Amino acid sequence: LISSPGVMIDLTSGTLTGDVVESEKRLKDLAGVFVNESLRARMDPATIIYRVQTHVAEKEGMEGGLFYGTSFVYPGLVGDEYFMTKGHFHSKIDRAEYYWCIQGEGMLILMDIHGKCWAEKMVAGSLHYISGYIAHRIANTGRSLLAVGACWPSDAGHDYKTITDKGFMARLRKIDGVPQLIPVR
Ligand code: PAN
Ligand code: ZN
């Protein structure tokens, strides 16, 4: 009647062990994601930008279920733009999500359906509610690994195309040594 946990989360690093699906994105996988695409294309394609560990507790697309994931974003820059995730709206665009920062320093970059952007600072322990209709991505603004926990509905899905086609309307750039959210063009 009593079972052992099928998955463990290390509370200081965010690392999952057990029943977990792993994925990673290297610079070669991120064409068009950074403002300076020609620089990205000239950098080492094998550079790892982020990894995600997901506990897939339900079938993808199942209504009423939840997924858990830890995202790890590495420190670094493409020019003056911080390493970051691709970012997405949810395919079921009204689906919300929680993010919380486990270690490192970062920024949660948000954009509404009209292209208005804003950002929230992430430090270990910060909790971030992302309501539906809001695109979201995370950037590492520190010198160490950024780990962010996330919980989202298993029927949310990921709409990357809207971001691939239009991009975020503002970019997080290191200017005078500090992160600033700068409108595109
Ligand atoms: C997160 C993201 C994760 C990777 O789990 O999927 O941070 O970012 P991209 O999916 O934009 O590459 C989430 O928001 N899930 O819904
Ligand atoms: Zn999401």
Specify which residues 138 forms β-bridges with. Answer: 108
User: Which residues line ion ligand 2, judged by CB < 5 Å?
Assistant: 97
Compute, in angstroms, the gap from residue 54 CA to the centroid of ligand 2. Answer: 12
Give per-residue pLDDT as tens, 79-108: 999 999 999 999 999 999 999 999 999 999
Give per-residue pLDDT as tens, 116-163: 999 999 999 999 999 999 999 999 999 999 999 999 999 999 999 999
Which atom of ligand 1 approaches the CA of 88 most closely? 11
Of all residues in the chain, the percent with pLDDT exceeding 90 is 99
Rounded CA-CA distance 136/107 in Å is: 10
Rounded mean pLDDT, 44-71: 98
What letter represents residue 53's amino acid? Q
| pLDDT, averaged across the chain | 97
- 185 pLDDT tier (thresholds 50, 70, 90): confident
pTM for the complete prediction? Answer: 0.98
Rounded mean pLDDT, 15-23: 98
Task: Report the run of H or E that residue 79 belongs to, with start and end.
Answer: none
Question: Of the residues 52, 55, 73, 168, which should be mutated to test ligand 1's pocket, given the most ligand atoms within 8 Å of the CB?
Answer: 52
On whether the CB atoms of residues 7 and 55 are closer than 8 A, the answer is yes
